[in-house]
């Protein structure tokens, strides 16, 4: 069949010889011959009927397979993923490309796939609309954004593009002819363009910035037996978080109570406290694809769309000045949470994110801190902002619950006599303050100043009555 295809189309024979002669990535490799054979034979390309799933199946052998083969031969840190529809709605399809390819967490190649050739222009428009930058620009201020490669596939029609973004304006430039993958020469050309793109990715890889979480990527926490306990997926302006409430240890509130808490906090508008994404409805309808908080149809998985998008922290900042800023902002978030009638219960560095000044400036106008703490929480112009996140372990502040015993005791807590009310075992507002001292102001990579040690000791001993009072301490006032 391959020989007959080559003999039946002179253009095809000439193109294959040219492509193989000029391709030094894996010339002569057995795997490349298999890819070429599959492209010529047209697996899945003779199927009748059209759907996006069928288009994806057709593109896989032409893009994914040669891409991964070339990356392996070049020892390139590359991974690919394809979009799926979650069981609670199609929100991700509207915001995430159908095909994604990252090099070291930098999104450099993507694709949009449609069922019919008549939808090609729609696919091209979506290339501009969905994740048109390689990362969130505000999270890496001053770093030049690379050109992104992309393809639009609709039915049998495929075209490759280069995407550039400047000042919010996105431009797509065609870098290939319109290719028909219903014919062998069209399929071979798609493989050839894919290999050329890998060359460009390999050339860029040594200069790729270090990014903690990929745009469009997913980080999963997996439990015994492979069950997904939670996952976090980054979009351009929000984070999608899924949590299996049935597997979450130490929680106090169920789904209805969490919905009520997030609705209450929606009116607080504190820049140092996580909130539901304002771009979606905050309604709690179980099947609503546009809701910022919902329960999947399995009845146990909570899905949240949260903002702002920031950089995760895995430990204390390297300097006392940065620690002071972080503690000030966390206490501001705690003050807002307490004023709304809730306690956090899980304050630690892993539940704090940092927004570089460029990112925080975009949200500062609409997010105002609580009036009681506004004077203490103001940040100098151009300063980073820290945000307290992860409210799944929160509880009503006046909840009469003995937390000395499982399942309400959290494994990350210090000893009960340090944190909880000695008489009742309750977790109170002052417990949050003690947790700030134990989790954020101890085991530092530097020696804390006398004023910092004084605040830490006062928080540990319960001498500070509220987060607002802590914000007035001399260490945070300078």
List the CATH number of the domain containing 308. 1.10.510.10
44 burial (CB, 10 Å; 0-12 / 13-18 / 19+) is: middle
Q: Are residues 248 and 157 in the same domain?
A: no
Q: What is the Cα–Cα distance from 448 to 441, expressed in whole angstroms? A: 8
Query: Is residue 118 domain-shared with residue 154, that is, in the same domain?
Result: yes
Same domain? For 202 and 277 the reply is no
Rounded CA separation 138/358 (Å): 5
- 160 bridge partner residues: 151
Q: Are residues 16 and 148 in the same domain?
A: yes
Which positions ≥6 away from 4 have C-beta within 8 Å? Answer: none
Residues in the chain: 478
Q: Are residues 195 and 242 in the same domain?
A: no
Q: Which of 431, 463, 462, 429 is nearest to 337 (CA)?
A: 429
Does 433 reside within a domain?
Answer: yes
**Residue 253 belongs to some domain of the structure:** yes
Neighbour-count burial for 175-214, b at 16+ CB within 10 Å, e otherwise: beeebbbebbbbbbbbbbbbbbbbeebbebbeebeebebb
The pLDDT tens digits of the residues spanning 390-404 come to 999 999 998 999 999
Within a domain: 416: yes
pLDDT score of 142: 87
DSSP string, 209-270: PP-SS-TT-EEEEE-GGG-EEEEEEE-SS-EEEEEEGGG-TT----HHHHHHHHHHHTTT--
Helix H segments across 178-220?
184-204
What is the DSSP track for 105-163? TEEEEEEEEESSGGGHHHHHHHHHHS--SSS-GGGSTTPPPPPEEEEEEETTEEEEEEE
Contact 427, 403 (CB under 8 A): yes
pLDDT of residue 284: 43
Does 221 reside within a domain?
no
CA 19 to chain centre: 38
The pLDDT assigned to 13 comes to 52
Specify the pLDDT at position 27. 46
Regarding whether 80 and 187 lie in a shared domain, the answer is yes
Helix (H) or strand (E) holding 352: strand 352-355
273 and 185 inside one domain: no
Per-residue pLDDT at 121: 97
pLDDT recorded at residue 177: 98
- DSSP secondary structure, 377-445, as one string: H---TT--EEEE---TT-EETT----TTSTTTS-TT---HHHHS-TTT----HHHHHHHIIIIISSS-S
For residue 287, what pLDDT is reported? 37
Range of the domain at 146: 2-207
- Cβ(228)–Cβ(244) under 8 Å? yes
Which contacts of 359-366 are long-range, i.e. CB under 8 A and separated by 24 or more positions? 359/136, 359/138, 359/139, 359/141, 359/308, 359/309, 359/310, 359/385, 360/271, 360/308, 360/384, 360/385, 362/138, 363/271, 363/307, 363/308, 364/271, 366/269, 366/278
Place of tokens 């994740």: 131
Q: Do 49 and 90 sit in the same domain of this protein?
A: yes
- The pLDDT value given to residue 30: 65
Q: Cβ-count burial of 145 within 10 angstroms (0-12 exposed, 13-18 middle, 19+ buried)?
A: middle
Paired with 82 in beta bridges are 99
139, 172, 207 - which closes a domain = 207
Q: Are residues 308 and 390 in the same domain?
A: yes
The Cα–Cα gap between 322 and 311 comes to 15
Number of domains in the chain: 2
Tell me, what's the pLDDT at 40? 72
Residue at 227 is within a domain: no
Q: What six digits make up the tokens of 111?
A: 């694709």
Residue 42, in any domain of the structure: yes
> What's the pLDDT score for residue 376?
43
Residue found by looking up tokens 């307490």 in the block: 338
**Whether residue 305 is found in the same domain as residue 260:** yes
Coil, helix or strand for 101? strand
Residue 154 forms beta bridges with which residues?
114, 157
- Residue at a domain's end among 148, 173, 207: 207
Q: Is residue 224 part of a domain?
A: no
Residue 421 lies in a domain: yes
Final residue belonging to a domain, choices 162, 192, 207: 207
Same-domain pairing of 249 and 184: no
What CATH number is attached to the domain comprising 192?
3.90.1570
Instruction: Please identify every stretch of the chain with a pLDDT value under 50, giving residue numbers as ranges.
Output: 1-2, 5-7, 21, 23-28, 86-91, 281-289, 365-377
Q: What is the pLDDT of residue 223?
A: 84
d(CA 385, CA 387): 7
Give the model's pLDDT for residue 25: 43
């Amino acid at each position: 069949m391959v020989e007959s295809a080559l003999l039946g189309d002179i253009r095809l024979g000439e193109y294959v010889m040219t492509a193989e002669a000029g391709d030094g990535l894996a010339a002569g490799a057995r795997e490349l011959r298999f890819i070429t054979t599959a492209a010529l034979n047209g697996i899945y390309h003779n199927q009748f009927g059209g759907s996006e799933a069928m288009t994806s199946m057709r593109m896989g052998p032409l893009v994914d397979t040669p891409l991964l083969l070339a990356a392996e031969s070049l020892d390139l840190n590359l991974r690919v993923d394809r979009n799926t529809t979650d069981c609670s709605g199609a929100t991700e399809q509207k915001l995430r490309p159908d095909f994604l390819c990252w090099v070291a967490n930098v999104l450099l190649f993507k694709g949009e796939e449609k069922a019919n050739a008549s939808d090609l222009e729609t696919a091209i428009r979506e290339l501009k609309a969905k994740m048109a930058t390689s990362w969130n620009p505000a999270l890496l201020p001053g770093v030049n954004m690379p050109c992104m490669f992309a393809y639009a596939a609709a039915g049998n029609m495929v075209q490759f593009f280069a995407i550039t973004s400047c000042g919010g304006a996105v431009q797509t430039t065609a870098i290939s002819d319109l290719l028909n993958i219903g014919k062998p020469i069209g399929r071979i050309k798609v493989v050839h363009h894919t290999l050329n793109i890998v060359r460009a990715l390999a050339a860029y890889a040594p200069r790729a910035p270090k990014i903690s979480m990929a745009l469009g990527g997913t980080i999963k926490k997996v439990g015994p037996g492979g069950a997904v306990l939670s996952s976090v997926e980054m979009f351009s302006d929000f984070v999608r978080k899924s949590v299996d409430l049935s597997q979450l240890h130490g929680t106090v509130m169920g789904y209805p109570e969490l919905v009520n808490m997030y609705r209450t906090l929606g009116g607080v508008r504190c820049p140092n406290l996580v909130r539901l994404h304002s771009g979606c409805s905050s309604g709690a309808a179980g099947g609503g694809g546009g809701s910022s908080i919902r329960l999947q149809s399995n009845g146990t998985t909570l899905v949240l769309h949260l903002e702002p998008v920031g950089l995760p922290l895995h430990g204390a900042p390297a300097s006392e000045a940065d620690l002071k800023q972080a503690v000030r902002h966390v206490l501001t978030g705690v003050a807002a949470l307490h004023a709304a009638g809730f306690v956090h219960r899980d304050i630690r560095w892993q539940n704090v994110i940092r927004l570089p000044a460029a990112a925080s400036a975009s949200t500062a106008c609409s997010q105002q801190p609580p009036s009681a703490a506004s004077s203490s929480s103001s940040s100098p112009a151009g300063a980073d902002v820290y945000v307290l996140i992860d409210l799944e372990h929160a509880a009503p502040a006046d909840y009469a619950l003995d937390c000395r015993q499982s399942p309400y005791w959290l494994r990350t807590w210090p000893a009960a006599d340090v944190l909880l009310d000695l008489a009742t075992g309750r977790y109170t507002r002052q417990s949050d303050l003690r947790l700030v001292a134990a989790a954020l102001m101890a085991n530092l990579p530097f020696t804390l100043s006398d004023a910092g040690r004084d605040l830490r000791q006062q928080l540990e001993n319960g001498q500070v009555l509220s987060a607002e009072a802590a914000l007035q301490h001399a260490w945070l006032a300078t």
